[in-house]
């Protein structure tokens, strides 16, 4: 069965580093649909600068040109903290027997053991890890990681959960934190932001030094 990709984040703002690597993954694996899940209230990091509805609107605008990338509002609509496990459970009931592939940048994956009920994640989904500038694979992998690691993408189709695949996709050296800092200084980022997102940010003054982000 064709897997469904799941890509969560604060997307504050969504940028090319969130889009190009995922398109590469679709090409490499044949995954036909990736659900982008902006989190409303992250559980494992501070409150995002920008209100969930703005981050949702930017996600919708950024994905409009890519029919295989679908904005998914289940965490935006769910009250309370945005934990990944309930998200995967609700996808599991929605998508039945289609395997789920949770996509994570290496920086996020390296923190996964700090997530709530993290071991449950590998019972609900497979994980695709992509490289991110500055995030290095440890020289010695923990046992749970090396046991789950597979070198073939076909496990993403054959197994519902429990496997980790690293995919080498071209690195995109963009981070939302750096974008927020430089936009607050008035700089523009035509190469790092989808045009409609850049327009939305400027219309709503989201990251300017004086802007009201919430």
Longest dimension (CA), the chain: 51
- Tokens 């289609």 belong to residue: 98
Q: CB of residue 117 vs ligand ATP: minimum separation in angstroms?
A: 18
Q: How does DSSP classify residue 20?
A: H
Pairing type for strands 126-130 and 164-167 reads: parallel
Interface with ligand ATP includes 71 (CB under 6 A)? no
Of the residues 111, 175, 184, 208, which one makes contact with ligand ATP according to CB under 6 A: 175
Interface with ligand ATP includes 177 (CB under 6 A)? yes
Q: How does DSSP classify residue 42?
A: B
Of the residues 58, 63, 76, 130, which one makes contact with ligand ATP according to CB under 6 A: 130
Interface with ligand ATP includes 4 (CB under 6 A)? no
Of the residues 3, 4, 6, 9, which one makes contact with ligand ATP according to CB under 6 A: 9
Rounded to the nearest 10 degrees, what angle do helices 52-63 and 195-204 cross at? 150
Adjacency order of strands within the sheet including 164-167: 69-71, 33-38, 4-9, 100-105, 126-130, 164-167, 149-150
Interface with ligand ATP includes 75 (CB under 6 A)? no
**165-199: burial string, b at 16+ Cβ within 10 Å, e else:** beeebeebebbbeebbeebbeeeebeebbbebbbe
Interface with ligand ATP includes 176 (CB under 6 A)? yes
Of the residues 18, 35, 54, 92, which one makes contact with ligand ATP according to CB under 6 A: 18
Interface with ligand ATP includes 34 (CB under 6 A)? no
Of the residues 71, 88, 156, 174, which one makes contact with ligand ATP according to CB under 6 A: 174
User: Which residues are at the interface with ligand ATP (CB under 6 A)?
Assistant: 9-12, 17-18, 21, 104-105, 107-108, 130, 132, 172, 174-177
């Amino acid at each position: 069965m064709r897997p469904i990709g799941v890509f969560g984040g604060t997307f504050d703002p969504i940028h090319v580093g969130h889009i190009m690597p995922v398109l590469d993954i679709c090409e490499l694996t044949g995954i036909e649909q990736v659900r982008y899940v902006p989190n409303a209230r992250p559980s494992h990091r501070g409150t995002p600068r920008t209100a969930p509805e703005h981050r949702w609107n930017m996600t919708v605008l950024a994905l409009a040109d890519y029919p295989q990338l679908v904005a998914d509002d289940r965490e935006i609509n769910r009250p309370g903290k945005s934990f990944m496990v309930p998200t995967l459970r609700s996808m599991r009931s929605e998508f039945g027997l289609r395997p789920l592939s949770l996509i994570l940048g290496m920086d996020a994956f390296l923190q996964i053991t700090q997530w709530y009920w993290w071991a449950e994640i590998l019972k609900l989904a497979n994980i695709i890890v992509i490289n991110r500038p500055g995030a290095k694979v440890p020289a010695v992998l923990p046992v749970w990681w090396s046991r789950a690691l597979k070198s073939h993408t076909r496990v993403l189709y054959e197994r519902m959960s429990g496997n980790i695949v690293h995919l080498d996709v071209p690195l995109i050296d963009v981070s939302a934190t750096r974008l927020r800092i430089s936009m607050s200084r008035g700089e523009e980022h035509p190469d790092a932001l989808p045009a409609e997102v850049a327009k939305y940010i400027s219309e709503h003054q989201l990251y300017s030094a004086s802007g009201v982000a919430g």
